[in-house]
Structures are given as structure tokens and as C-alpha cells.
Amino acid sequence: MAFPVSSFIISLYKQYQQRGSLSKKQLQGLYSKASKIENLAPGKLAAVEAIIKRMPTRFKSAIPENKPLYEKDEATGEMIDFILTKNPSHKRALFLKTKFNNNETLSPAEISELKKFMQVFSK
């Protein structure tokens, strides 16, 4: 009645009729508008304030940091580089190097294969 042309109050009234309730922020906006009315009974303001205090305050959690899906194992990279320094045309080592550079996971069998190559080339 105090704000007959206020689009905010009209939209709150329509939502209340459709849903039967208002959100906490909408009630806070209604309370701030209602507190500006001079001839409003203090009991009505207190009732709206009590409803606001009873409602839970919802917080959005912080967005977690992005982690890379795959972290390169530097020891594996060093083994591949060592093998390729000893024999630059080693086909299996070249294949594993491209796989390593493309951030694909090396299977345990491939890693054990690299360890065998290390033993052969370190002698």
C-alpha cells in the first residue's frame, strides 16, 4: 500500500502468491523498504526481522584450484634422455619419449623396460 508503483514490491508479492515464500535476500530488501514507512506498526517489522534471523545464511564454497590431470615424473624423463644421449636412434626410447611428452601415462611395464635399458647403456 505504501509503494503502489514499486516494481520490486509488486514482483515480491507475485512471487509470494506463486511460491508461498520469499528468500532471505528478498525479505531483507522488503524489510529495508518497510523500515522507511513512517506509520507502520513496529510489530510487523519485528516479525519480518525474526523471520529473516531464523532463515539460514547460505555461503558458496570457494572454487578449488585446478590441478593438472597428469604430473610428469622427472626421473622417467631423465632415464629417457640418458638412453637417447647414448643411442639417439633407439626406437623404443623415442616412442616412450613422445608418449612422455604428450602427457600420457607410462605403464609399469614400460617403466621397467626403461630401467632395463638404463642398465644396458650404463655399462
pLDDT at 33: 84
pLDDT of residue 58: 81
Which residues form the domain of 83? Answer: 74-122
Same domain, 114 and 83: yes
82 and 50 part of one domain: no
Instruction: Find all residues with CB under 8 Å of 92, minimum gap 6, and list them.
Output: 113, 117
Average pLDDT score over the chain: 86
**40 within a domain of the structure (yes/no):** yes
- How far, in Å, are 42, 51, 96, 100, 111 from residue 117 at the CA level? 86, 73, 12, 16, 10
Residue 105 lies in a domain: yes
Looking at residue 96, its pLDDT comes to 92
Are residues 50 and 85 both part of a single domain?
no
Domain count, the chain: 2
- In this structure, is residue 7 part of a structural domain? no
Regions of the chain where pLDDT drops below 70? 1-5
The single-letter DSSP state of residue 55 is: S
pLDDT number for residue 113: 92
Please check whether residue 9 lies inside any domain of the structure: no
Q: How far apart are CA 22 and CA 55, in angstroms?
A: 10
Instruction: Please answer whether residues 8 and 29 qualify as being in contact, where contact means their C-beta atoms are separated by less than 8 angstroms.
Output: yes
> In whole angstroms, how far apart are CA 91 and each of 59, 79, 86, 114?
56, 15, 13, 12
Q: For residues 80 and 69, what is the distance between their CA atoms, to the nearest angstrom? A: 22
Assess if residue 1 is contained within a domain: no
